[in-house]
């Protein structure tokens, strides 16, 4: 009972800070993620703790996530992390061999019990995290876990191993767009004969399949044409933008695989187009005809005048969180996760403190009104931060001559065609 309370409290407390950090979340391929089957999600790991939060708090499903085992060694941490549906997996460097062996044995028993109840487990198959747009070589553990689970059941467990790719628009800043895709599952029990013949070979085959799937669905900017690929990622995001929604669903337009394999011909078009919009002072979103969310802009501007104190609170929370983490935490792997976590704690402390103050000085009614104003003001502030720069660039777009707008549109269409 207490663990359920902790889970729901943290889940709901994260909603507003996440709303400031994340602009949009797009889910692609949900038909490959069954609700009534045991599922092992196998994904990339670009953004530390925040990756698990994205799946857990934005997919709308209860997902158990495997994470580094050494953080579970303290009793209080163990209780809290398990309440958050996290389960330990020990690597050789996380603890001594005996602790790792016993811990992993217990975790495997727990996973099997969860799978028999058609639960979903998330494993980050890269094994470690680093904030870059790339896919590192996957570890073999995912394949071995999947095979072990099916063998325990006598090949009766209908385990679906679902490759899942996680793409962030950028790291370390507010108002990110996140794309989550779920690819065609691997049905492990169908490999019974192959497993019995050569289990190691099948585990390697699973790893290679997952590797290929992630490389086709994760934006990879390392290597040649990194700046051009980064810009193309922004173009793809704008092509999939849907106003008035935080979450969106459906097939992701344009091909990430083609983005990853552009040549000099496409790269030169991208450079020319990027320079053209910089010269005109507009954005790709303007050229692409992204729906202008005018209502949200006017609401945000209006509430800026009547709710300035609430706006100021949220500005201070995010400004302090981002500045402190950027200055004090040298390891950039944890920056985004810590910024969201610190913003959550500060928002709870400040808003609760103000509500108690209003309760004591005025009345319970004023305290309740403050809570509602804080939530509403926070949402409007996030929209204001997102839309104000776009608003000014939209004015610049409207001020351009028709022939100049047509020229930019044609440049963009040529690029879209190349990655379609």
Looking at residue 392, its pLDDT comes to: 79
Q: Which residues contact 297 (CB under 8 A, 6 or more apart)?
A: 383, 387, 388, 391
Mean pLDDT lowest for which of 114-118, 259-263, 368-372?
A: 368-372
Percentage of the chain lying above the pLDDT 70 cut: 87
Q: Are residues 31 and 180 in the same domain?
A: yes
Strand partners, 163: 42
Domain membership of residue 287 (yes or no) is: no
User: Is there a single domain that holds both residue 94 and residue 174?
Assistant: yes
- By the 10 Å C-beta count (0-12 exposed, 13-18 middle, 19+ buried), 81 is classed as middle
Is the same domain home to 194 and 105? yes
Same domain, 193 and 146: yes
Same domain, 407 and 391: no
Q: For residue 223, tell me if it sits in a domain.
A: no
Residues 162 and 36 in one domain: yes
Q: Which of 321, 275, 279, 303 is nearest to 387 (CA)?
A: 303
- 87-112 burial string, b = 16+ CB within 10 Å, else e? bbbbeeebbeeeebeebbeebbeebb
What integer pLDDT is reported at residue 198 of this predicted model? 96
278 and 140 co-located in one domain:
no
Same domain (yes/no): 27, 173:
yes
Q: Is the pLDDT of residue 242 over 80?
A: no
Indicate if 301 and 170 belong to the same structural domain: no
Encode pLDDT of 293-351 as tens digits: 555 556 656 655 556 666 677 778 878 888 888 888 877 777 887 887 888 788 777 77
Claim to verify: residue 234 and residue 253 sit in the same structural domain: yes
pLDDT of residue 91: 74
pLDDT of residue 380: 65
Identify the CATH number of the domain in which residue 51 sits: 3.40.1130.10
Average pLDDT over residues 368-383: 68
- For 247, the domain range is 229-282+400-418
pLDDT band at 203 (very low <50, low <70, confident <90, very high): very high
265 and 346 assigned to the same domain: no
Domain presence at residue 289: no
Residues 315 and 178 placed together within one structural domain of the fold: no
Residue 291 has pLDDT above 70, yes or no: no
> What is the number of domains present in the chain?
3
Question: pLDDT digit string (tens) for 139-172?
Answer: 999 999 999 999 999 999 999 999 999 999 988 7
């Amino acid at each position: 009972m207490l663990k359920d309370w902790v889970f729901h409290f943290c889940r709901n407390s994260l909603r507003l800070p996440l709303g400031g950090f994340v602009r949009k979340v797009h889910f692609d391929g949900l038909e490959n993620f069954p609700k009534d089957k045991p599922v092992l999600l196998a994904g990339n790991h670009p953004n530390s703790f925040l990756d698990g939060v994205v799946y857990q708090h934005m997919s709308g499903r209860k997902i158990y996530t495997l994470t580094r085992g050494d953080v579970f060694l303290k009793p209080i941490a163990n209780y809290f992390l398990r309440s958050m549906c996290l389960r330990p997996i020990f690597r050789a460097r996380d603890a001594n061999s005996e602790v790792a062996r016993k811990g992993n044995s217990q975790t495997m028993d727990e996973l099997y019990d969860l799978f028999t109840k058609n639960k979903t487990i998330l494993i980050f198959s890269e094994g470690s995290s680093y904030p870059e747009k790339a896919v590192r070589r996957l570890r073999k553990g995912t394949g071995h876990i999947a095979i072990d689970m099916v063998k325990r059941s006598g090949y009766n467990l209908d385990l679906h191993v679902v490759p899942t790719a996680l793409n962030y628009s950028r790291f370390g800043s507010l108002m990110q767009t996140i794309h989550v895709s779920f690819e065609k599952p691997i049905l492990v029990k169908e490999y019974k004969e192959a497993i019995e013949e050569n289990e190691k070979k099948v585990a390697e085959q699973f790893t290679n399949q997952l590797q290929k799937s992630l490389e086709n669905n994760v934006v990879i900017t390392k290597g040649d044409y990194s700046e051009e690929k980064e810009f193309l990622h922004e173009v793809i995001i704008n092509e999939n933008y849907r106003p008035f929604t935080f979450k969106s669903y459906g097939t992701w337009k344009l091909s990430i695989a083609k983005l990853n394999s552009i040549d000099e011909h496409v790269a030169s078009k991208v450079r020319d187009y990027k320079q053209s919009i910089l010269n005109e002072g507009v954005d790709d979103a303007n050229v692409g005809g992204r729906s202008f969310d005018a209502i949200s802009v006017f609401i945000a501007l209006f509430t800026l005048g009547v709710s300035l104190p609430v706006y100021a609170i949220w500005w201070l929370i995010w400004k302090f969180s981002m500045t402190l983490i950027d200055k004090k935490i040298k390891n950039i792997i944890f920056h985004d996760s810590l910024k969201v976590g610190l913003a959550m704690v500060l928002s709870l402390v400040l808003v609760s403190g103000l509500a108690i103050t209003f309760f004591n000085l005025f009345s319970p009614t004023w305290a309740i009104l403050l809570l509602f104003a804080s939530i509403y003001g926070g949402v409007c502030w996030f929209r204001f931060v997102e839309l104000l720069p776009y608003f000014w660039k939209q004015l610049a777009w409207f001020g351009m001559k028709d022939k100049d707008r047509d020229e930019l549109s044609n440049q963009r269409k040529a690029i879209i065609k190349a990655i379609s």
